[in-house]
Amino acid sequence: MAHPSQLGFQDAASPVMEELLHFHDHTLMIVFLISSLVLYIIVAMVSTKLTNKYILDSQEIEIVWTIVPAIILIMIALPSLRILYLMDEINDPHITIKALGHQWYWSYEYTDYQNLEFDSYMIQTEDLNPGLFRLLETDHRMVVPMQSPIRVLVTAEDVLHSWAVPALGVKMDAVPGRLNQTAFIISRPGIYYGQCSEICGANHSFMPIVVEAVPLEHFESWSSLMLEEA
């Protein structure tokens, strides 16, 4: 969960998000080193009146400043491609959930169960219980078991939406007439918040996403209770 004046990302709750955080730190360090070098060169050129004649015309320096940037780009590209393939990898999901975007709420269908589906609306501010987050809490959470591969099929009924949960490293567009899929594994129990990340109309800011990760036995109890209510 993000907090006021936070500068970095939310704590990772999935292996993919951990990889994304490591890649961010790796790339940021490269950018910091390049920026420091450029700043040093600018200060040195401005503060000294001396001129090195070997820098004015040097074949060796031209070779260096051509090869070094290429090496740096390769150092960035290889881990980036690895994470892209990891994010597309879906291996034998334990549960498949269909997330359907509407104006302006989400519907969830647990396709492995019969008649286990519900709508998820934002709780209005005047109806919030103490301790709940304004504009982020919903009347029905998407409950999933922790440490299990979860596949989410994302689509929309009316306009473009986007199903995004930052702590899980998940963001998938919901396109009417098209079924996109994403997957994640939640490392620990908790409640993870997200919002629609595609401008979808007047109430775009009021269709939050709440994913609750629980142990497997608690998930089985919850699903049995939901099926009885249905």
Q: Give the contacts of 136 (CB within 8 A, at least 6 positions apart).
A: 122, 193, 195, 208, 210
Distance CA 40, CA 48 (A): 12
Query: Of 88, 118, 137, which marks where a domain is finished?
Result: 88
* pTM of this structure: 0.86
64 shares its domain with 176: no
Distance CA 209, CA 195 (A): 5
| Omega before 65 within 30 of 0, i.e. cis | no
Query: Of 43, 73, 88, which marks where a domain is finished?
Result: 88
User: For residue 76, what is the domain's CATH number?
Assistant: 1.10.287.90
b/e for 106-133, b at 16 or more Cβ within 10 A?
A: bebbbeeeeebbbebbbbeeeeeeeeee
Query: For residue 46, is it within any domain?
Result: yes
Token pair recorded at residue 119: 């709508």
The answer to whether residue 79 scores a pLDDT higher than 90 is: yes
Considering only residues 191 and 54, tell me which one the structure prediction assigns the higher pLDDT: 191
Count of structural domains, the chain: 2
22 shares its domain with 62: yes
Distance CA 96, CA 133 (A): 28
pLDDT reported for residue 230? 66
Which of 117, 118, 119 is closest to 103 using CA atoms?
119
pLDDT tens for 6-54 read 888 999 999 999 999 999 999 999 999 999 999 998 998 888 887 777 6
77 shares its domain with 180: no
CB 98 within 8 A of CB 111: yes
35 shares its domain with 101: no
Helix (H) or strand (E) holding 190: strand 190-196
Query: For residue 2, is it within any domain?
Result: no
Comparing 57-66, 195-204, 215-224, which segment has the lowest mean pLDDT?
57-66
Query: Of 38, 55, 88, which marks where a domain is finished?
Result: 88
pLDDT-derived band at 4, boundaries 50, 70, 90: confident
21 shares its domain with 117: no
166 shares its domain with 84: no
Mean pLDDT of 112-130: 92
83 shares its domain with 158: no
Which of 15, 18, 21 is closest to 147 using CA atoms?
15
pLDDT-derived band at 2, boundaries 50, 70, 90: confident
124 shares its domain with 182: yes
Question: Which residues span the domain enclosing 158?
Answer: 95-229
Q: What is the DSSP letter of 168?
A: G
pLDDT reported for residue 61? 81
Strands 142-145 and 117-120, by their bridges, are unpaired
pLDDT reported for residue 8? 86
User: Which residue type does 157 have?
Assistant: E
Residue found by looking up tokens 């292996």 in the block? 15
